[in-house]
Amino acid sequence: MEIQVNPAAPDRRKPKPADESNLGFGDLFTDHMFLMNYEKGRGWYDPRIVPYGNLEFDPAAMGLHYGQEIFEGLKAYRGRDGRLYLFRATDNFKRMNRSAARICMPDLDIPLAMEALQRLILLDRDWVPGSPGTSLYIRPTMIATDPFLGVRPSHRYIFYIIIGPVGAYYKEGLNPVKIYVEDKYIRAAVGGIGEAKTAGNYAASILAAEEAHAKGYTQVLWLDAVERKYVEEVGTMNIFFVINDEVITAPLNGSILPGITRDSVIRIPGDWGVKVSERPLAIDEVTAAAEDGSLKEAFGAGTAAVISPVGQLTYKGRDYSVAGGRMGDLSQRLYDEIVGIQYVEKEDPYGWRIPVEE
Ligand code: COI
Task: Indicate the helix (H) or strand (E) that contains 91.
Answer: helix 89-102
pLDDT at residue 4 tops 80? yes
Query: Which mutation among 236, 237, 306, 308 tests ligand 1's pocket best, with the greatest number of atoms within 8 A of CB?
Result: 236
pLDDT in tens, 175-188: 899 999 999 999 99
pLDDT at residue 1 tops 90? no
Nearest CA to ligand 1 atom 3: 73
pLDDT at residue 270 tops 90? no
In this predicted structure, what is the pLDDT of residue 165? 98
Q: How many CA atoms lie within 13 A of 217 on its CB side?
A: 22
pLDDT at residue 143 tops 80? yes
- Whether residue 283 sits in one domain with residue 336: yes
* % residues pLDDT > 90 (the chain): 94
pLDDT at residue 353 tops 80? yes
CATH of the domain at 233: 3.20.10.10
User: Of 186, 3, 192, 158, nearest to 70 (Cα)?
Assistant: 158
Number of domains in the chain: 2
Residues 204, 196: Cα–Cα separation, whole Å: 13
- Whether residue 225 sits in one domain with residue 331: yes
Whether residue 238 has its Cβ less than 6 Å from ligand 1: no
Under a CB-based contact definition with an 8 Å cutoff, are residues 112 and 90 in contact? no
Q: Which atom of ligand 1 is nearest to the CA of 197?
A: 5
Residues 75, 30: Cα–Cα separation, whole Å: 14
User: Of 151, 138, 164, 154, nearest to 69 (Cα)?
Assistant: 154
Q: Whole domain around residue 303: which residue ranges?
A: 177-342
- Whether residue 186 sits in one domain with residue 99: no
Report yes or no on 298 lying in a domain: yes
pLDDT at residue 235 tops 90? no
Residues 81, 260: Cα–Cα separation, whole Å: 24
CATH of the domain at 121: 3.30.470.10
Under a CB-based contact definition with an 8 Å cutoff, are residues 35 and 158 in contact? yes
Residues 201, 222: Cα–Cα separation, whole Å: 12
